[in-house]
Amino acid sequence: MSHNSFGHLFRLTTFGESHGPAIGCVVDGCPPMLPLTEADIQQWLDKRRPGQSRFTTQRREPDTVRILSGVFPDEASGQQVTTGTPICLLIENVDQRSKDYSDIKDKFRPGHADFTYLEKYGIRDYRGGGRSSARETASRVAAGAVARKVIPQVSIRGALVQVGPHGIDRDNWDWEEVERNPFFCPDAQAAAKWEGYLDSVRKSGSSCGAVIEIIASGAPAGWGAPVYGKIDQEITSALMSINAVKGVEMGAGFASAAWSGEQNADEMRMENGAPVFTSNHAGGVLGGISTGQDIVARFAVKPTSSILAARQTVTRDGEETEIATKGRHDPCVGIRAVPVGEAMVAIVLADQFLRHRGQVG
């Protein structure tokens, strides 16, 4: 059952609300004997951490992770390693600024889950979005760090390829550039333009959407579980579960709908005695199983719903009113979605690797 869990053999269960005592997760099914320290996880959390530039929320959360279980020192190597038992990762909520929630307590913020949580459960923790806050994604990033350990042969990298209406020039793609600008943008020229654009968005109290691309390199051919555990299906599911995501595509994606079969065909040749593909419109997956090529997924994040401009809404009691967000928010929540998307793809691949090894050996 997948209320708050994701994955099968490698399985993540998350818990916690934005302004409760802590958030965290349990990672179950991790293979034993993998070196794992808190620092291994912290480096990825730091990538997602808010407040690192003026383009993300100024909420100050150190997001310090503690490993509560599932690791032990290995005498032979002297390293702390996984033991095969569940790994609980805990992140305490520090910056629970005591503030006046009266505005959002009774008003439904457009684009937020306020209305639907209340309709479903009859109650909601309204402080900072509670369970529906993007803060939950810190747990995903922490679990993704563990997943990467399971499949060290696979490199999983993400980049922002569109901000608002502004895309990148793929000819300028440079992975090193991704580390240099505050947008995880692989195109230095685009990044320069985005800075001005995002400043104007931020200053006007508005927000914008984004498109993120995740590329996993190094997965061999043969991972995936047709027909309802397809690797592209599970990547889609994983990415769509991230807050504010409205679309996911693999390889050529929606563009391929306009193509002919001749254009779309990824032809095959031999190279160094092994079959290779001359293109990768499939995004590294055929019939739900990896081809050995790069696995390429893209997902669209809607503009941050919390904006300064007042929007019409209603209250719990059925009064018409309006609401504007004054708090600390990301002008483009898509930026911080990059490490989250990477983590989710890592989790899918780690799980698929273990499942493949289980069934096929």
Q: What minimum distance in Å lies between the beta carbon of 184 and a copy of itself?
A: 15
Residue 146, SS3 per DSSP: helix
Contacts of a copy of itself in 230-249 (CB under 8 A):
230, 232-234, 236-237, 240-241, 243, 246-249
Q: Are 130 and 124 in contact (CB under 8 A)?
A: yes
One residue of 100, 102, 153, 270 binding a copy of itself per CB under 8 A: 270
Name the one range near a copy of itself by CB under 8 A: 56-64, 124-132, 168-176, 182-190.
124-132
# chain residues binding a copy of itself, by CB under 8 A:
152
Residue 280 binding a copy of itself, by CB under 8 A = no
| Contact between 287 and a copy of itself per CB under 8 A | yes
- The verdict on 37 binding a copy of itself (CB under 8 A) reads no
Kindly give the interhelix angle for 337-360 and 38-48, rounded to the nearest 10 degrees. Answer: 140
Lookup: tokens for 90: 């805990």
Nearest CA among 140, 129, 141 for reference residue 20:
129
Identity of the residue, 58 or 204, whose beta carbon is nearer to a copy of itself in the bound complex: 204
Q: Does 57 sit near a copy of itself (CB under 8 A)?
A: no
Under 8 Å between Cβ of 343 and 12: no
- Judged by CB under 8 A, the chain residues 200 through 229 that form the site for a copy of itself are 201, 206-211, 220-229
Q: Is 337 in the site for a copy of itself (CB under 8 A)?
A: no
* Contact of 338 with 158, CB cutoff 8 Å: yes
CB closer to a copy of itself, 157 vs 166: 166
Q: Site residues for a copy of itself, window 147-176 (CB under 8 A)?
A: 162, 164-165
Say how many residues make up the chain.
361
- 176 or 274: CB nearest a copy of itself: 274
SS3 assignment, position 79: coil
Task: Count CB atoms within 10 A of the CB of residue 303.
Answer: 19
Residue 195 in contact with a copy of itself, rule: CB under 8 A: no
What b/e string do you get for 218-254 counting C-beta neighbours within 10 Å, with b at 16 or more? ebeeebbbeeebbbbbbbbbbbeebbbbeebbbbbee
Whose Cβ is closer to a copy of itself: residue 176's or residue 257's? 257
